[in-house]
Amino acid sequence: MNHTLAPAKAPLSEKIGYGFGDMASSMFWKIFSYYLPIFYSDVFGLKPQHAAFLLLITKLYDAVSDPVMGIIADRTETKWGKYRPYLLWIAVPFALVGILSFYTPDAGYTFKHVYAYVMYILMMTVYTAINVPYGAMLGVVTEDSREKSVFSSYRMFFAYIGSFIAMGIFGVFEKMVGGNVGEASPMQWTGIVTVIAAICAVLFVLCFLMTREHVKIERKSEGGSSVKDDLKSLASNGPWWLLLGAGIGMLLFGSIRGGAAAYYFSNILGTSAVLTCAVYLFIGEIAQMAGVLLTVPISEKIGKKRTFIGVLVAVAVLSSLIWFLPETAGGFWALVALQILICVCIGIEAPLLWSMFADVADYSELKNGSSSTGLIFSSSSMAQKFGGALGGFLLMQVLAIFSYDKDLAVQGPATLSAIKALMSWIPAIGSLLGVVCLVFYPLTSGKMKEIQASLAKSRESRLG
């Protein structure tokens, strides 16, 4: 494997362009995380337990599709690079499938149930096809570890801008339908998602046009690593497993809490809420953007690992406090304050995850002679989708177990308690699972300096 060394400093335009990619992804991912459960149960018409198993079972497919896409991307050779071309090729399919996922066919329950499975699997397929290569680009836009953290921070900052826009659009949507998206018509849902899908397609194309792959990785036709070798190296990569677990825990927290918000506002706060759910989530996106700006200075001072563990503990504690809030005006504003603090912490941890996957790729290259960047970054997509799907499954299962019924004007006391738990201590468990994984994560700042120094010598000798 050959490397062409790249300049440490990348142009600002490339960092912004790289950010546009996750800006697009985040717009759709937030809609899927926050609004797909209530769309399936209250608009599309799936029973909560059926929606729960749909979200979970399709992840078995993702367990195969994500690493397969990583392997394909690692072996792609075009004049535009290995990973960047997928931003152009998949932009339009991503938008079209996203629209169809929020379309409700005029048919019987069985057909709709099957349709939901087909469209959700297709959506996860195109999401994988564009996001695994996009994530892997972080390993080839620069060789400098700090610059990778900067690229990752731009990525997450623009991701939150995307979420900010999506939540803003849904805020307008909520106002149009009287404050309850569960009562909107199926075609209203399809129409609002179409607007977001068109924006996403444009952003992906801009990301393609504004970025470059500066680190060229070439596989030799003979003597290079095979798919079997890459998979074997990945399976024996301890830091990869631990970071994958931390990522799943992080996304588990976000998907449960985010998906529960619409139910919490509709059934517990109701008309007493000063703000709509979309505005509440909108505030969270602003706070996450602020958190992103703190990532590099804090992690440079105390290290990526310590920073990540600290914010995971913080979000678990802060989230648990929501359980004790009264349904009063004071309790509501305390909820908003906790939302801001939690989301600042989430904004700090998100760029760290992507930057640490790049560190794992460097570790793999030094250990095995091959970074398998696309394959390793496929785990980030796996973590996102497993965490999101498991969170969605648990959310819908809890609602089903505690007899949630969309047709009731007022849910029963046990159902209301379950919804409150889904906003508080249940997602906190996912965050603490991430802490357990990170305690054993070995790639500290000191260790990464040693690895990068050794890699620099190795790459120079290969070029020589």
Inform me whether the pLDDT recorded for 411 exceeds 70.
yes
Lowest mean pLDDT among 240-254, 313-327, 342-356, 365-379: 365-379
Give percent above pLDDT 70 in the chain. 91
CATH architecture of the domain with residue range 11-218+249-463: Up-down Bundle (1.20)
pLDDT at 122: 94
- Alpha-carbon torsion, ordered 372, 373, 375, 378, to 10 deg: 170
pLDDT grade for 462, boundaries at 50, 70 and 90: low
Query: What's the rounded mean pLDDT across residues 352-380?
Result: 81
pLDDT grade for 36, boundaries at 50, 70 and 90: confident
Query: What's the rounded mean pLDDT across residues 329-338?
Result: 90
pLDDT at 460: 66
CA nearest neighbour of 188 among 351, 77, 35, 76: 35
Tokens representing 364 are 């793999």
pLDDT grade for 1, boundaries at 50, 70 and 90: very low
Tokens representing 292 are 């992103």
Inform me whether the pLDDT recorded for 20 exceeds 80.
yes
Number of neighbouring beta carbons within 10 Å of residue 53 = 16
The CA–CA distances, whole Å, from 435 to 319, 384, 430, 446, 461 equal 15, 17, 9, 20, 39
Percent helix, strand and coil across the chain, each rounded to 5? 80, 0, 20
Query: What's the rounded mean pLDDT across residues 140-145?
Result: 81
d(CA 423, CA 345): 16
pLDDT at 267: 85
Q: Rounded to the nearest 5 degrees, what angle is found at the Cα of 116, between the Cα atoms of 385 and 183?
A: 100
Residue 301: exposed, middle, or buried by beta-carbon count in 10 A (0-12, 13-18, 19+)? exposed
Inform me whether the pLDDT recorded for 371 exceeds 70.
no
List CB contacts of 169: < 8 A, sequence separation 6 or more: 192, 195, 196
Decide: pTM greater than 0.75.
Answer: no
Tokens representing 430 are 């996912």
List CB contacts of 362: < 8 A, sequence separation 6 or more: 145, 371, 448, 451, 452, 455
Number of neighbouring beta carbons within 10 Å of residue 257 = 29
d(CA 347, CA 283): 13
Inform me whether the pLDDT recorded for 179 exceeds 50.
yes
State phi, psi for 4 to the nearest 5 degrees.
Answer: -100, 115
pLDDT at 269: 82
Inform me whether the pLDDT recorded for 389 exceeds 80.
no
pLDDT at 434: 94
Inform me whether the pLDDT recorded for 408 exceeds 90.
no
Residue linked to tokens 């989708």 = 385
Inform me whether the pLDDT recorded for 204 exceeds 90.
yes
Inform me whether the pLDDT recorded for 29 exceeds 60.
yes
pLDDT at 224: 54
d(CA 7, CA 444): 24
Beta bridge pairs of residue 218: 2
Residue 62: exposed, middle, or buried by beta-carbon count in 10 A (0-12, 13-18, 19+)? buried
Task: Tell me which of 328 and 398 has the higher pLDDT.
Answer: 398
Tokens representing 250 are 């992080």
CA nearest neighbour of 412 among 421, 424, 404: 404
Summarised one tens digit per residue, pLDDT across range 47-106 is: 888 887 887 777 667 767 888 898 999 889 999 999 999 999 999 999 999 999 999 999
pLDDT at 222: 44
The residue ranges of every structural domain in the chain are 11-218+249-463
Q: What's the start-to-end Cα distance of the chain, in Å?
A: 13
Task: Count helices and strands (H / E) in the chain.
Answer: 15, 2
Inform me whether the pLDDT recorded for 273 exceeds 90.
no
d(CA 315, CA 118): 35
Summarised one tens digit per residue, pLDDT across range 225-270 is: 678 888 888 888 999 999 989 988 998 898 899 888 888 988 888 6
d(CA 395, CA 416): 13
Give percent above pLDDT 90 in the chain. 41
Beta bridge pairs of residue 216: 4
Query: What's the rounded mean pLDDT across residues 305-333?
Result: 93
pLDDT at 451: 87
Alpha helices in 236-328 (DSSP H): 238-264, 277-302, 304-320
Q: 311, 255 in Cβ contact below 8 A? A: no
Q: 361, 139 in Cβ contact below 8 A? A: yes
Residue linked to tokens 């796996």 = 382
The CA–CA distances, whole Å, from 463 to 2, 4, 48, 340, 460 equal 7, 7, 57, 49, 5
Q: Rounded to the nearest 5 degrees, what angle is found at the Cα of 285, between the Cα atoms of 281 and 286?
A: 120
DSSP H/E element including 4: strand 2-4
Task: Tell me which of 356 and 389 has the higher pLDDT.
Answer: 356
pLDDT at 463: 54
List CB contacts of 193: < 8 A, sequence separation 6 or more: 31, 98, 99, 101, 102
Beta bridge pairs of residue 4: 216
